[in-house]
Structure formats: C-alpha cells, structure tokens
Amino acid sequence: MKLGRFVIDTHVHVQRHAAGPEFKKLGLKDPKKIQYKDLAKVMRAMTTYDNSKRLMYDMECYDVDMCILCSAFGMNNDINVELVEKYPEKFRALAFARETADKAIAGEIEWTMEAAVEELDRLLSTGKFIGVGEGMPSNPGGMTGGKTYTQTDRMDELRLVMDLARKHKVPVRVHSGTPMGYPICYTFWPENWHPNWIRDLAAEYPDVSIIFDHGGMQGGRWDNQVEECIQVAANHDNVYLETGLYWTDLYYKALADPNVGPEKLMWGTDWGASIPVQTQLGMTPQTYAAQVRKDGIVTHQVDVMGWSLKQVSRLDISQDDMNLILAGNALRVYNIDFPVSRMFRIVN
C-alpha cells in the first residue's frame, strides 16, 4: 500500500558526477581504493550528468509522486530546470549559486555573498525555482581551509539570503549534519554545526520559511544536532525539519514535541548523495546512513529511498498526520499547486 495520498521527496540530487576522468588525472584507477577525501578534492571540477533514469525507477518502485531537485558540490541548475520543464508533474527545483562558485574556484573573482545573492536573484526572477538550496550559499574556498568565520560575519551573510527570500516569497534551506566521509570544514558552512544560530534569522524574518536540511541527521548515529534542530523548530513557527535520514525513533522524538509534531516535518532522502546505509545488528539504531571512510567510496546507486520509507512506515500515527509529513507540509511551504482541495489537514 502506498504510504500517503501524495508523496514528495523534498531532497533529491538527480545529477551524478562523472568521476572517472578526474580520478585518472590523480592516478587513481581502482574504485575500491578511492577515498572520500579524494572525491572531495575533485568533485567541484567534475562534469555532472542527468541521472533521472535511475531516479524515476526508484520513484515508480516506491510510489513517490514528486521530487524537489537540489544542486550542490559541482551540480548545476540547467539539468534540474530541463527536467522540471520536461516532467512538470514530477519535479520542482531549488536555485543554487553555481556560476559564482565556479568563477571563484577558477580565480576569476573573489567569492562574496553579495555576488551569490545577485545570481540567485536572477535565477528566482525566472519563476523556474521554488526556493534556495541545498544549504545557504557559501565560499567554496572554505572546503580546503582559509580564514575562519566569526558568527557575526556569517550571520550578516545569511541575512542577505533571507532578504532575497523575503523578496521572492520562497523558503530557504540551512544545512545540518555531515555524511561522515567527506571532510566538511567548519569554515565552509559554520551554521551547519550551530543550528541555534538560526533562531535569530527565524525571529528577524518570521515571514520566511526556513528548512533544516536533514533535520540535524545526515550521517552517523549521534543525534545531538537533531535535538538542537528540534528545539529551534519548536520555538519558531517558520522553521521546519527535513527528515529523510531519520530512523523511526528520531521521528518519534520530533513528533513528541507539541510545538513540532507532524506539522513541522518534511520527508526528503538526500537521494543521489551516495551515503550508504549501515547495518549493525543489536545496536540502536540497527541501521543508519553513514559514509565509512575505510570502505572507500560507494559506486552503486544507494537505495536510500526504500530504507527511508521503511522507517516512516513504522510510525503508528494517524494517516492525516502521515500525509502532512510525506507531502502536505511541502505543498504548503513551497507553494506547490495540488489538483484536489481539502486533501490535507489544515495547519495554522
């Protein structure tokens, strides 16, 4: 049985990196010996290709009706927009300041948030994007080190994005968590490690919806960031949690807070990010998503969609609440039209 009346995966990477040529330049030929740190070095220079054939196979397999496409780490907006235009009933896209990042990596410009926001403004003005993400724009040089941000410096940058989101009346995404393989630096996404920073933005911009990518859980079994994200969402009406890498007990943790509940949760899997699901019998949780560095990179298409839906299916909650998590909240927050009225519980 399908889990909901309508199902939206709110966090999908439909593009896959053509890694082989870049690895050959580094003298790396055996996929089993390639490490996540090697992949991180070349990911932004890689060409990406349309991986929608695999995505649509999984969508059909698991009865997923729509996906919100995100770009990140070398992916581009063009492929996502082409897919939205080709399959408007299946896809929507978020805007990503790729051009600014590429120019900064090439040494043509110095990266600034002002330049990134100017690019996002152009993209959002086309009407082809429904939000900003994955995560907030950031200096690509932060992936390899550099000057560490102060909180004030980064928060002032984030306010520029919030101003833009207010102008275009779209939600923004703030990244949280780490897949455990790639060496994600503090300087690249400092707010990633401090969900509580977002309290100020939520209070200053009550009319802008903020969604925590991963809801604090992108990899591993440590849930300290999940609890912090839940606390922020509980305290601010405009903050939501994307939950695709939650195991079942984490859903219950969020649902148990009366200021969060099903009204603040959006299902989304990070499909395409190549984060494998680990099985450790007898542990709690027994399965969870995490890249294991000693195992090397994953070369197959990880079935995170099936794993995630299995976690959701274990929830003993009303179907109306389930429908909010699987689609209703996303339809409302992203302002996506639905052909039939009054199919989802009204949320004030």
Distance CA 86, CA 219 (A): 33
pLDDT reading at 145 higher than 60: no
In which band, very low, low, confident or very high, does the pLDDT at 143 lie, cut at 50, 70 and 90? low
First to last CA, the chain: 30
Scanning the structure block, which residue is given the tokens 């606390």?
231
Closest CA relative to residue 139, chosen from 159, 165, 113, 161: 113
User: Looking at residue 225, what is its pLDDT?
Assistant: 97
Bridge partners (DSSP) of residue 29 are none
Is 83 strand, coil or helix?
helix
pLDDT digits (tens, 9 = 90+) for 237-257: 999 999 999 999 999 999 999
Distance CA 316, CA 37 (A): 40
Q: pTM of the full predicted structure? A: 0.94
In which band, very low, low, confident or very high, does the pLDDT at 274 lie, cut at 50, 70 and 90? confident
In the chain, % of residues over pLDDT 70: 92
Strand 66-69 and strand 287-289: the pairing is: unpaired
Q: Which of 38-52, 76-90, 144-158 has the highest mean pLDDT?
A: 76-90
Closest CA relative to residue 269, chosen from 247, 293, 287: 247
pLDDT digits (tens, 9 = 90+) for 197-223: 999 999 999 999 999 999 999 999 999
Which domains can be identified in the chain, with CATH numbers?
96-333 (3.20.20.140)
User: Looking at residue 297, what is its pLDDT?
Assistant: 84
